[in-house]
Amino acid sequence: MHIVLANPRGFCAGVKRAISIVENALKFYKKVIYIKHELVHNKYIIEKLRKKKVIFVEKISDIPNYSIVVFSAHGVSKKTKEEAIKKKLIILNATCPLVTKVHKEVENSSKKGIETIFIGHKNHPEVIGTLGHYNNKDSKIHLIQSIKDIKKISVKNNRKLNYFTQTTLSIKNTQNIIKSLKKKFPYISGPKKEDICYATTNRQNAILKLSKISNIIFVIGSKNSSNTNRLTEIGKETGIYTKQIESFLEIKKKWIKNKKYIGITAGASAPEFLVKQVVKYLQKIGAITIKEMPGTKEEITFNIPKNLFL
């Protein structure tokens, strides 16, 4: 049995930045910190933060006035931000800059009265936040999740129409949706640079490469993590037996019976220690070698807000 690690895998720049913001804020303010929604979608990170004076809330109304609030990496709507300002909260914005980019695109369309078609998953916090940047009463933003949804859309003026997307979608599925959108609306325009982020793109390409040499793939990440779920979907689509796990504790020996090459990857919100634990466990039960695939080197980093530099 041999272990092959996907490259890149795990933390992206947006997740690293969000975690640094909270860690620095805890040191700086030495007070309870409220986080609107899970900072990033990983059970272990959330549990760790809960032990350190962090309280997670879904509604701003659950936070006492004048407290400190961190907006999660997935971003919030304009209304949520306004509510926080009204409550005189100290706001630390851990929204990934690549989500903020999409917020700006949508807000700009709203201001110009351009009707927008947004491709994303209903009820995902990033989608709720992004849709909440379109507030033109005379125009509209439509959410679509699949090609099937395109049929239901009718627009006022198909020459004043654009589309944007969630950052963590499947590249292939999204390309197909956009192709169909363009068939129905030939004049539709899209973002200058695509909205699916670099980390999503690189991790999806890496699992495709990994699938070429693996007999089973483990995708490490939490069940509510969109980018992780896309990796699992892609792994399964290749026909390779793919299992999404939160940690090594979920691994069943029967899954790996007679499997020579075990591929491992991790979503953008899954810490590397979870990968290490899986490797250690597999070594304990017989893995002989461990290799990392060659892959795209990620050099992108995002600064944390200046007032939190300690």
Residues contributing to the site for ligand SF4 (CB under 6 A): 12-15, 73, 96, 98-99, 167-168, 197, 199-200, 227, 268
Q: Tell me whether residue 67 or residue 244 sits nearer to ligand SF4 (CB atom).
A: 244
Work out whether 265 is an interface residue with ligand 0CN (CB under 6 A).
no
Kindly state the smallest distance separating residue 151's Cβ from ligand SF4, in Å.
29
Let me know if 250 is a catalytic residue.
no
Alpha carbons 304 and 307: distance in angstroms, whole number: 9
Task: Give the sheet arrangement for strand 2-5, strand by strand.
Answer: 241-245, 216-220, 261-266, 2-5, 289-292
Looking at beta carbons only, is 5 or 18 nearer to ligand 0CN?
18
The region, left, alpha or beta by phi > 0 then psi within -120 to 50, assigned to residue 221 is left
Among 269, 274, 282, 304, binds ligand 0CN (CB under 6 A): 269
Compute φ and ψ for 36, nearest 5 degrees: -80, 110
Report how far residue 238's alpha carbon sits from residue 99's, in angstroms, rounded to the nearest whole number: 29
Q: Is-contact 36 69, C-beta < 8 A?
A: yes
**Does 8 participate in binding ligand 0CN (rule CB under 6 A)?**
no
> In the complex, what is the shortest distance from the CB of residue 65 to ligand 0CN, in angstroms, rounded to a whole number?
28
The CB-of-261 to ligand 0CN minimum distance in angstroms stands at: 26
Q: Does 219 bind ligand 0CN (CB under 6 A)?
A: no
In whole angstroms, how close is the CB of 12 to ligand 0CN at the nearest point? 7
Catalytic residue among 38, 105, 115, 126: 126
Q: Which of residues 75-134 bind ligand 0CN (CB under 6 A)?
A: 96, 99, 126
Tokens found for residue 264: 């491992």
Q: How far is the CB of 211 from ligand SF4 (least distance, A)?
A: 21
Cis peptide before 8 (omega within 30 of 0): yes
**Which of these ranges, 83-91, 220-228, 278-286, 289-297, lies near ligand 0CN under the rule CB under 6 A?**
220-228
Residues 6+ apart with CB under 8 A from 262: 1, 2, 3, 4, 214, 215, 216, 217, 218, 256, 282, 287
Subset of 31-60 contacting ligand 0CN (CB under 6 A): 40-41
Cβ-Cβ contacts under 8 Å for 128 (sequence gap 6 or more) = 77
ω before 186 within 30° of 0 (cis)? no
Pick the closer one to ligand 0CN by CB: 69 or 268.
Answer: 268
Q: Indicate the DSSP class of residue 147.
A: G
Which helix or strand (DSSP H or E) is residue 92 part of?
Answer: strand 90-93
Contact indicator for 188, 182 with CB cutoff of 8 Å: yes
**Which of 139, 225, 242, 244: binder of ligand 0CN (CB under 6 A)?**
225
In whole angstroms, how close is the CB of 228 to ligand 0CN at the nearest point? 6
> Which single residue is written with the structure tokens 């198909």?
158
Residue 225: contacted member of ligand 0CN, ligand SF4, none (CB under 5 to 8 Å, by partner type):
ligand 0CN
Question: Interface residues with ligand 0CN (CB under 6 A)?
Answer: 14-15, 40-41, 73-74, 96, 99, 126, 167-168, 225-228, 267-269
Where in the sequence numbering do the catalytic residues fall?
126
